[in-house]
Structure 1
Amino acid sequence: MEESAEFMHLVLNSIEEHIAVIDVSGVICFVNQSWLNFGDENQCLSNQNWTEMNYLNICDQASSAGDDFGHQAGAGIRKVISGQINSYSLEYPCHSDEEHRWFIMHVSPFEFNKANYFVITHQDVTERKLAELAVKELVRLDGLTDIYNRRAFDEFLQQEWVLCLTLQQPISLAVIDLDHFKQLNDSYGHLAGDDCLKQIAQRLKKLSDSPRFWCARYGGEEFALIMGNTDVVAAKQVCDEFTEQIHRLNIPNIDSPVKPYITASIGLAEVRPTDQSNAVNLLNQADTLLYTAKEKGRNRIEISCQTPDLEWNQVSVI
């Protein structure tokens, strides 16, 4: 029984890890049921197409789109195929719109009928990774507001940029400034100012409860919200809800020339990443829009999105 092809096929299909076998050129010869299921659930290729694909080409395509993990995977597999190393492992993120996920890819060779083949496994290590991140998270949090700090913001913006570039998805960024926050501190004291920042941060945190959304304290009274796989229309709805929640808080700011309560100005920019653009351009545009909102009287949102020829097109002023 142990020697039968049917028996071994059943064994492989019962394994939770995603398994594929490639030949020396990278062509996929076999995938197990877990691999097929993951592909279907994540809108990858249909079942019958996997064994027609070249796995190395898939890695190269991801690498060309700016995915460093695709580059590392392709380079590691080639080293195993050439005999430079006996095996290769790589931990990488594979987030969806619903959850954060991490996997470890492992590559090892074997010989069958005098031909060389290579087993590629992908093991889900999300549970372990989340536990590790929970510890590291402490240094990424702003001590006052308990949301991410500027250092974490920079990391997440670059991470989300690369993911949106790879998947050809839009990314939106909102930079938020509390209007005349100094007047609030002067009128009510710094403890009241700290309490205001905490309340604002918690409202923003609730609105960013998504694996592709990241909120951070960007500066003293400035906040930022990264929205992956989100176009300007959906991002505007999030910002509208946020400003409405700020108004409902009704935090007094009697000396503000805008309103007798705290308000916010927002610069919102959206782009579809390309090889000719970068995350810094997006951040600079959101900053510029924020400055415009403040120049035009505050308590408003200035919005623009980037056209395919890399020109910024202002689509709305609110």
Structure 2
Amino acid sequence: MQSSHEFLVLVLDSITEHIVVIDETGDIQFVNQSWSAFGNNNACVIGDNWEHENYLSECDKASAMGDEFGTKAGTGIRTVIENRESFFDFEYPCHSPSEKRWFMMRVTPFQVADQKYFVISHQNITKRKLAEEDVSNLAKIDGLTDISNRRAFDEFFHKEWSRCCRLKKPISLAMVDLDHFKLLNDDYGHQSGDECLVKMGRLLKEFANRPGDMCARYGGEEFVLVWGDTSLAQAKQLCNRLLKNIIDLNIQNQNSPIKNCLTASIGLAEIIPDQGNEAKELITKADRMLYRAKDSGRNRVES
């Protein structure tokens, strides 16, 4: 017959939520298998040796590096430990390089004899958040091209800026302007112009595949591409491939002085965000590079 302790451990290990138990000082007393597996699968430096690590210290370290989760989690746990709140919960993103993920963190106290402990659970709520995101995205999608609109770009860009700032990673921004689009509209009609923009939207989606990437219609015939954790050299390769793919669309623009098909000019800029610069600096730099591309003959990338 199994002991009560063994039975309870088996029960907790069968739960898909990531569970950790801490004492009043923040020292970890127990983690379940889901917690350990998540740590191992996400290259956590602690590995399997969780017990007696201090959860609050780890939150404080993350907070000192600018991590929003570390700040909110550490503050919330302390409100429960200090009896200022009976429980604490909040939802947070925990995206991997290949997928979007969200979790709900909940802190609940319990007592054994004179000793207080705290259960911290992390429940995967990705399905619900993706459904909510789908509804929200309807207001952030350009109705013609079916890619993000300016509003969505502004929101995403500042979030990605903050993420790259925290991780000390580069972020690249490309501003794409279709060359002599007015001539195409005048010669072939606005319906052909709209069809051209739709094809551009479809093409740009192929260049924004990761959670840290985005393509958006910036206005009229101007588009933007955001690539998080991407160097200038990597982004320039993408831009050169994009220019070729635009020509390969073979959208006729017979009176263009550049080619008899659609081309584009691209202004590209990259920066490693920190506390000493602002997101608008990258936009200004990319816009300046776009004007240089136009002044240099169009159908090119300038960076």
Q: Is the 8 A contact 2:40 2:48 kept in 1?
A: no
Shift of 1:149: 0.3
> What is the match of residue 255 of structure 1?
255
How far the C-alpha of 1:243 sits from its partner, in A, is 1.2
Whole-Å separation in 2 of the counterparts to 1:109 and 1:117:
6
Q: What is the CA–CA distance in structure 1 between the aligned matches of 2:140 and 2:220, rounded to whole Å?
A: 16
Determine if the alignment matches structure 1 residue 118 to structure 2 residue 118: yes
Aligned twin of 1:299 = 299
Take 2:114 and 2:3, find their aligned partners in 1: how far apart are those partners? 19
Per-residue displacement from partner, 1:285-318 (whole Å, max 9, x unpaired)? 2112112211211111112xxxxxxxxxxxxxxx
- 2:51 and 2:84 map into 1 onto residues whose CA distance is 26
Q: Is the 8 A contact 2:92 2:102 kept in 1?
A: yes
- Name 2:18's counterpart in structure 1: 18
| Distance apart, 1:235 and its partner CA | 1.9
Question: Quick one: structure 1 residues 191 and 174, their matched pair in 2 at CA, closer, same or farther if it must change by over 3 Å?
Answer: same
- Matching residue of 1:306: none
Q: Given the superposition, is the C-alpha separation of residues 165 and 126 from structure 1 closer, same or farther in structure 2, using an over 3 Å criterion?
A: same
Deviation, 1:216, is 0.6
CA distance in 2 between counterparts of 1:198 and 1:211 reads: 23
Q: CA deviation at 1:48?
A: 3.7
Matched to 2:191, the amino acid is: L
Question: Equivalent residue of 2:200, what SS?
Answer: helix
Give the aligned partner of residue 41 of structure 1: 41
Match of residue 230 from structure 1: 230
> What secondary structure is seen at the aligned counterpart in 2 of 1:172?
strand
User: Cα gap change, 1:292/1:62 in structure 2, threshold over 3 Å: closer, same or farther?
Assistant: farther
After the TM superposition, which parts of structure 1 deviate over 6 Å for at least 4 consecutive aligned residues? none
TM-score, structure 2 length as denominator? 0.94
Cα deviation, residue 67, structure 1: 3.3
Partner of 1:310: none
Structure 2 partner of 1:146: 146
- Maintained 8 Å contact 1:207/1:238: yes
**1:180 corresponds to which letter in structure 2?**
H
Whether 2:88 is the aligned partner of 1:88: answer yes
Deviation digits for residues 112-164 of structure 1 (CA, Å, limit 9, x no counterpart): 34222211111001111111111111111001101000000011111112222
List aligned pairs for 1:211-230, cutoff 5 A: 211-230=211-230
Structure 2 residue 239 is the aligned partner of structure 1 residue 239: yes
CA contact (8 A) 1:65 1:165 kept: no
Structure 1: distance between partners of 2:50 and 2:273: 28
Aligned residue for 2:178?
A: 178
Does the CA contact (< 8 Å) of 2:88 and 2:107 recur in 1? yes
> How far does residue 211 in structure 1 lie from its aligned partner after superposition?
2.1
Instruction: List runs of 5+ in structure 2 lacking aligned partners.
Output: none
Q: What does residue 314 of structure 1 align with?
A: none
> Retained in 2: the 8 A contact 1:65–1:275?
no
Aligned identity (percent) is 54
Q: Do 1:21 and 1:119's aligned partners in 2 also have CA atoms closer than 8 Å?
A: yes
Aligned length: 303
Looking at structure 1, the residues matched to 187 and 142 of structure 2 have their Cα atoms a distance apart, in angstroms, of 25
Would the aligned equivalents of 2:36 and 2:48 in 1 still touch at CA under 8 Å?
no
Give the Å deviation of 1:11: 1.6
Change (3 A) 1:48 1:64: same
* Aligned AA (1:51): E
Change in CA separation of 1:277 and 1:52 when aligned onto 2, cut-off 3 Å: farther
Pair 1:197-2:227 in alignment: no
